Amino acid sequence: MTYARTLARVETYFDQTAHRTWERLTSDAPVSRIRETVRRGRDAMRAQLISRLPQDLHGMRVLDAGCGTGQLSADLAARGAEVVGVDVSPRLIDIAQARLPGHLSGRVTFRAGDMLHADIGPVDFTIAMDSLIYYTRPDLADALHRLQDRTRHAVVFTLAPRTPLLMAMWRVGKLFPRSDRSPVMVPHAHAPLARALQGRGTLTALDRVTSGFYISQALELRP
């Protein structure tokens, strides 16, 4: 499946099926015990990714690539960054805009569309949390190249790690596809991805977060 087809599938899923679930998961509303583990895992991962950026982001422009409901965008703006939050789902962008605290509104621009679109312009840092997890290695490498080309310092992102558990889940998902389910995550190992990015920068594996059904690997790509 090509990047464009996968992107369209992600948009359809979040706009037509999952935006209400995602709205609840990324709030303080009560959720099931399983979703609570996912919420805790996402909170831990978001804290790790933002820790890779300077504490003081005044004068810096940051792309929140796949911003969802805007939690990370708000965190970045609170540190002083000028933030561009992009998500393929217009409904998630509506939620992000409604949730953004008023005192941060001048620091964040939300837009619905492709996080790789050229007119986003240059940025100092890019964070892509759980927005690159659906792509095969060639499409992933190409997306990282394009993000890096506009990013001055570092692209910090997450992937599904290639663990036995996730590979088993991936194979089951491939065997029994359902149109109403999230697009299947594609697990990746560090070494093959590093080879695909050879000559484009240094790929560093950061910490892995495992919390119930949330399993995610943080990575950083620097020139």
| Residues whose CB is less than 8 angstroms from the CB of residue 133 and which lie 6 or more positions away in sequence, other chains included | 158, 159, 160, 185, 186, 216
Q: What is the pLDDT of residue 76?
A: 98
- Among candidates 90, 87, 84, which has minimal Cα distance to 67? 87
Within 13 A of 74's CA, how many CA atoms are on the CB side?
15
Output the pTM of the full model: 0.92
What CA–CA distance (Å, rounded) separates 153 from 38? 29
Q: How far is CA 144 from its chain centroid?
A: 12
Q: What is the pLDDT of residue 137?
A: 95
Q: Three-state SS string across the chain, please?
A: CCHHHHHHHHHHHHHHHHHHHHHHHCCCCCCCHHHHHHHHHHHHHHHHHHHCCCCCCCCCEEEEECCCCCHHHHHHHHCCCEEEEEECCHHHHHHHHHHCCHHHHHHEEEEECCCCCHHHCCEEEEEECCCCCCCCHHHHHHHHHHHHHCEEEEEEEEECECCHHHHHHHHHHHHCCCCCCCCCCCCECHHHHHHHCCCCCEEEEEEEEEECCEEEEEEEEEC
What CA–CA distance (Å, rounded) separates 60 from 65? 16
What CA–CA distance (Å, rounded) separates 143 from 163? 23
Q: What is the pLDDT of residue 97?
A: 98
The CATH classification number of 3-222 equals: 3.40.50.150
Q: How crowded is residue 220: how many other Cβ atoms within 10 Å of its Cβ?
A: 17
Q: For every one of its 223 residues, what pLDDT tens digit does the chain have, with 9 covering 90 and above?
A: 689 999 998 989 888 888 888 899 899 999 999 899 999 999 999 999 999 999 999 999 999 999 999 999 999 999 999 999 999 999 999 999 999 999 999 999 999 999 999 999 999 999 999 999 999 999 999 999 999 999 999 999 999 998 766 666 656 555 444 554 567 788 999 999 999 999 889 999 999 999 988 999 999 999 9
